[in-house]
Amino acid sequence: MDDLSRALTLLVTTPLIPISLLGLVWGIIGGALPGISASITLALILPFTYTMDPTNAIVLLAATYIGAEYGGSIPAILIKTPGTNSAAATVIDGYEMNKQGKAGEALGISLWSGVIGSLFGLLMLVLLTEPLAEVALLFKPTSYFAVGILGLSIIASLASGSLLKVLAAAIVGLMVATIGSDPIAGVSRFAFGVPELLSGVKPIMIMVGLFAVSELLQQSGDPGVLEKLKQTVRLVLPDFAMMRRLFKPQMIGSAVGTVEGLLPGGGGSIAAFLSYSESRRWSKKPEEFGKGSPEGIAAPEAANNTVASTSLIPLLSFGIPGSNSAAVLLGGLLIHGLMPGPRLFEQNADVVIGLYTGSLVATLSQILVGVLILPLCIWLVNRPRPYLAGFVFLLVISGIYTINSTMFDVGVVLFAGFVGYLMRICGFPFLPAVLGVVLGPLVESNYRRSLMLSGGEHDIFLEDPIAVGLLIASALFIVFGVWRDWRDSRKAAAASPTS
């Protein structure tokens, strides 16, 4: 009851509603632009949250995430090009419906299923996050060190790509985190006499560089021959009979999205494809899948919108971001000095309640905003790619400059973007590197604090049962990663023409 009254107070006394709507609009637009994923949409707006009140900043980011997951389905349905990775499954039946002259219906199903998925995910977020965070109350420095290691090892084992490349990316991320003053003695490291480096490289620079700038570099020179939409489209929401038909795939999508969101490394794309396949399996009309089935849109859209909320559960409880977008959100929390875990719920309850309330506002507003800004999205989707590239590049640079008002930061982001481009062409994943930058200080400072407490004895880690449990789990995840790597390389060898 108390939380409800605080939520209402926040709604009345703060600009929570306009901020949610702004985030939602930006998210839908960003998600609708092909090549701009949800994480890039978040990374682009992240610098502008620097000067904002923490609650408003987090609400803006969460609403953006929710909007981007729906926005991704617009070009997926209209021009067969998913705006975000997690909208790839929506292309299958969405575009088929478009070809049958039912683009408006397909967009309506996507929007309605997104709302259902978001509401389900939000409910899970509210119910599960705080109890899980209570566990973290028992944590000591040794446990926090082990949490950092677990976060890195989970991603190492679940992230796509070769384990060696995942490890290399994580180590490079940790190396970047060591730039600046060390967390215990304050000694300057790797600053090369550059004053701007003394305070370290902010994770936001690495995120924007890796996600946004590297994408621009990757797309540079791409003629971008996207199919143009000729006809006008009017969004048609499902009627009651259709809503009943969509309910089962939406629930399948929401359930899959909950599990995938809770698992670090899962993410919206896996949830979308998994729920698509499960919906077809449980459907009364499986033969319609792939030929313009409304259920084939409902399941993946409910799933990826659920993940937008449930991926915040491990993030808020333990500080472990499960996806690229959650990593950017973690960056948003850290910018404002907010550490995920139980203390966040005690010391910054307004931020948490604001996050829940703002997400609810964004979710409920999705239908109205979705209908209103669809023409704008269609207009943007049809813009020539060279101009879009220029606008996005200017947005990145302008946003980064606002943080410290120095061109040095812009240079760092360009450098990170070029490194990200090289990582893309060499098949190195970004998430481990981002996690290395974010979790590096947590791992190092708690490791050293633990040893200071024990007088340099490593036995202290064995005396903490939580740390032991988490470190064993980390080892198991790494063993799983090694096994998966070995299995994949054997499969690749078996599939090669010579074998």
Partner 1 sequence: MRDVAAGGVLLLVAALYHFETLRISQSSLSDEVGPEGLPRLLAIGLAVVAGLILVRGIAAAVRLRRTEPAADSGGDYVASLPRALGFVAIGVGYILVAPVVGYVIGAALLVAVVAVYEGVAPTWRVAAVAAGAGCLFWAIFVKLLGTEQPAGWFF
Question: In the beta sheet, which residues pair with residue 189?
Answer: 180
Site string for partner 1, 176-195 (x = CB under 8 A): --x---x-xxxxxxx-----
Q: For residues 49 and 310, which CB has a smaller minimum distance to partner 1 in the complex?
A: 49
Give the shortest CB-95-to-partner 1 separation in angstroms: 26
Q: Determine if 376 is a binding residue for partner 1 (CB under 8 A).
A: no
Give the shortest CB-421-to-partner 1 separation in angstroms: 5
Structure tokens at 262: 């809770």
Q: For residues 168 and 237, which CB has a smaller minimum distance to partner 1 in the complex?
A: 168
Instruction: Out of 18, 290, 375, 386, name the contact with partner 1 by CB under 8 A.
Output: 386
Task: Assess contact for 259 and 120: CB atoms under 8 A.
Answer: no
Nearest to 377 by CA among 34, 126, 145, 39: 34
Give the shortest CB-66-to-partner 1 separation in angstroms: 22
Return d(Cα 336, Cα 324) in angstroms, integer.
Answer: 19
Using the contact rule CB under 8 A, the part of the chain among 138-146, 282-290, 312-320, 410-418 near partner 1 is 410-418
Structure tokens at 315: 């993030």
Give the shortest CB-425-to-partner 1 separation in angstroms: 5
Task: Assess contact for 179 and 189: CB atoms under 8 A.
Answer: yes
Q: For residues 358 and 399, which CB has a smaller minimum distance to partner 1 in the complex?
A: 399
Helix axes 141-158, 465-495, angle to 10 degrees: 10
Q: For residues 88 and 197, which CB has a smaller minimum distance to partner 1 in the complex?
A: 197
Alpha-helix runs per DSSP H in 33-72:
38-45, 54-71
256 Cβ neighbours under 8 A, 6+ residues apart: 271, 274, 275, 278, 303, 306
Structure tokens at 300: 């993946």
Task: Assess contact for 429 and 161: CB atoms under 8 A.
Answer: yes
Instruction: Out of 230, 287, 387, 495, name the contact with partner 1 by CB under 8 A.
Output: 387
Instruction: Out of 11, 263, 410, 473, name the contact with partner 1 by CB under 8 A.
Output: 410
Which residues from 26-65 bind partner 1, rule CB under 8 A?
48, 51
Return d(Cα 295, Cα 288) in angstroms, integer.
Answer: 9
Question: Count of CB atoms within 10 A of residue 184's CB?
Answer: 13
Nearest to 354 by CA among 87, 86, 52, 134: 52
Give the shortest CB-386-to-partner 1 separation in angstroms: 3
Query: Which residues bind to partner 1, rule: CB under 8 A?
Result: 48, 51, 164-165, 167-168, 171-172, 174-175, 178, 182, 184-190, 213, 216-218, 220-221, 223, 384-387, 389-391, 393-395, 397-398, 401-402, 405, 407, 410-411, 414, 417-418, 421-422, 425-428, 443-444, 447-448, 451-452, 455-456, 496-498
